[in-house]
Chains A and B, each alone.
Chain A
Amino acid sequence: MVGWLGTWSIIRPMEACKALGAKRALPLPVSAQDSGISAPVITKVTFEVNGKPQTLELDTRTTLLDALRDHLHLTGTKKGCDHGQCGACTVIADGRRINSCLTLAVMHDGGKVTTIEGLGTPDKLHPMQAAFVRHDGYQCGYCTPGQICSAVALLQEIKAGVPSHVSADLLAPPAVTNAELRERMSGNICRCGAYSNIAEAIAEVAGSSA
């Protein structure tokens, strides 16, 4: 999948090209055209993760996702597509949900990041985690940390009055309806298809019967 491509992802040009019998001179992959290899650039990053100050020495190329998983060993945040399409890497940075795979760790120097580990613990689940368990809002569980971070943040967005694509009236405070939750969760893909239970769990936390 390329970019947040949506349905374009079903197109596989190489296969399609073969299928059409097309014959073309293929350029070399970009990486092979380039013989110069530059040394990594290392930089210091200081940020607060789940309330704890952290300082890391990182290659500038390190995404926030890789910093969390590989350097801080917070493996609750998952790498799915690594291209911002699946939402498995969703974390809350400076109060907002983002795809941690599409941002550089160095860009969060001085910032605050909350991961699933910072929301709750096995002994003391966050209300959203407890609701996901109660409503069976997952099957394999791989997308779940991202789903939960996204769900927690989206209720804040609704509270703050951020409208959505399905909000009928842009000037009215958004409501917690099933349609609103589904639209607002569309950046989190669940291949097990636990969507209806996920929406029920979020609705319960929001205190609605959506």
Chain B
Amino acid sequence: MKTFSYEKAKTPAEAAAAAARIKGARFIAGGTNLLDLMKLEIETPAHLIDVNGLALDKIEALPEGGVRVGALVRNTDLAADERVRREYPLLSRALLAGASGQLRNKATTAGNLLQRTRCAYFYDPNMPCNKRVPGSGCSAIGGISRQHAVIGSSDACIATHPSDMAVALRALDATVETVNGKGAARKIPIANFHRLPGDSPHIETNLQPGELITAVTLPKPVGGNQLYYKVRDRASYAFALVSVALIQQKDGSGRVALGGIAHKPWRVESAERALPSGAKATADALLAGAKPTRDNEFKVKLVERTLAAVLAHAKELRA
């Protein structure tokens, strides 16, 4: 690990100002992904700003009926929150499908959104990777790509976003709240938060340098049956090959977002019109233009079948 200096920030504005001022500074909260990458010298911050002391660990009801989740709320606490379990069960389910008990106790809401891909080539400093060393090439293209993206990828990168939580937040139309180094706050709809790789896969979100996430807000509950199905190589503690987040109302209308198949949580609002027609029509619309590799072609079928299973479950719950 490279050496770094360390400070504990007192306020969000102070943390963002320090990040904007100090070259090579990074925020650290749970640290479960950042420290792992620092050990491998894939991340080499010169300065760490510990944000754990900021009072951003509350889950509050909003006057208009939604919920504000502080950036530092741990994954365990968010999944276990009584209001979240009752009104946003999709979010609880997605969180509980990810990582392990130990990691969920540390990992934060903001950190979960900002976690980096688990592409094995990104993690191997001996291999070219446009995300790690821009312009060096992509080893996954033509390499082993079973886990990789089937849609929204580019000639520069076919990595996936690893988060389950973010897939649920996309279906729930969450908003990310931030503050920048000048103390200015802004709100970013989750749909515009993560980026597709394009020709700059090293830029993963639309956050500006030094911009700090302070909270994630959820609009007022939409009800319906909320289900999160995750298909993976072992029953627990593994990343998704494919995941499906479904919110379906009594009349069959609803929302669907997919994980494990793209550089960001994958949702195509127009495809949701096909939900009452069933899994095939919806999957076809969601994955129109998909470009799977030889290794991950199976994911296209797996999306349809997982969606079929989720829709069957939702139908059972409606009966």
Contact = CB atoms under 8 A, between A and B. Distances in A.
Interface in A21-68: 22, 24-27, 29-31, 34, 38-41, 43, 59-61, 63
A103 B128 contact: no
A165 interface: yes
A16 B236 CA distance: 26
A163 B96 contact: yes
B31 A103 contact: yes
A4 B96 contact: no
Contacts of A103: 31-32, 35, 106
Contact of A26 (B4, B76, B126): B126
Interface in B103-120: 103, 105-106, 118, 120
Contacts of B42: 30
B79 interface: yes
A186 B104 CA distance: 12
B100 interface: yes
B267 to A, nearest CB: 22
Nearest to A184: B101
A22 B143 contact: yes
B85 interface: yes
Interface in A68-107: 82-84, 87, 90, 96-99, 102-104, 106-107
Contacts of A171: 85-86
Contacts of A13: 120-121, 124, 126-127, 139, 143-144
A141 interface: no
Interface in B125-151: 125-128, 132-133, 136-137, 139, 142-144, 146-147
A112 B227 CA distance: 38
A63 B35 contact: yes
B58 to A, nearest CB: 17
Contacts of A178: none
Nearest to A5: B118
Interface stretch (A118-126, A128-136, A153-161, A201-209): A153-161
B96 A157 contact: no
Interface residues of A, number: 66
B36 A27 contact: no
Nearest to A153: B101
Nearest to B34: A102
A17 interface: yes
Given A8-B120, A61-B3, A187-B237, A29 B102 contact: no
Interface residues of B, number: 66
B161 interface: no
Contacts of B224: none
A7 B36 contact: no
A104 B3 CA distance: 13
Nearest to A62: B1
Contacts of A106: 6, 50
B92 A170 contact: yes
A60 B147 CA distance: 35
B33 A3 contact: yes
B203 to A, nearest CB: 19
Contacts of B79: 162-163
Contact of B31 (A7, A34, A104, A187): A104
Interface in B73-90: 76, 79-80, 85-86, 89
Given A6-B234, A17-B143, A164 B31 contact: no
Contacts of A39: 3
A95 to B, nearest CB: 10
B1 A162 contact: no
B136 A87 contact: no
A138 to B, nearest CB: 19
B102 A99 contact: yes
A140 interface: no
A11 B120 contact: yes
Shortest beta-carbon contacts, A-B, top 5: A187-B100, A6-B238, A186-B236, A2-B123, A7-B233
Interface of B: 1-6, 28, 31-33, 35-37, 39-42, 44, 46, 48, 50, 52, 76, 79-80, 85-86, 89, 92-93, 96-97, 99-103, 105-106, 118, 120-121, 123-128, 132-133, 136-137, 139, 142-144, 146-147, 232-239
Given A6-B238, A171-B85, 14 more contacts: A2-B40, A5-B239, A13-B121, A20-B142, A61-B3, A87-B102, A96-B76, A98-B102, A106-B6, A165-B97, A167-B96, A170-B93, A186-B237, A187-B102
8 contacts: A5-B120, A5-B123, A13-B121, A13-B143, A14-B124, A14-B126, A104-B48, A187-B101
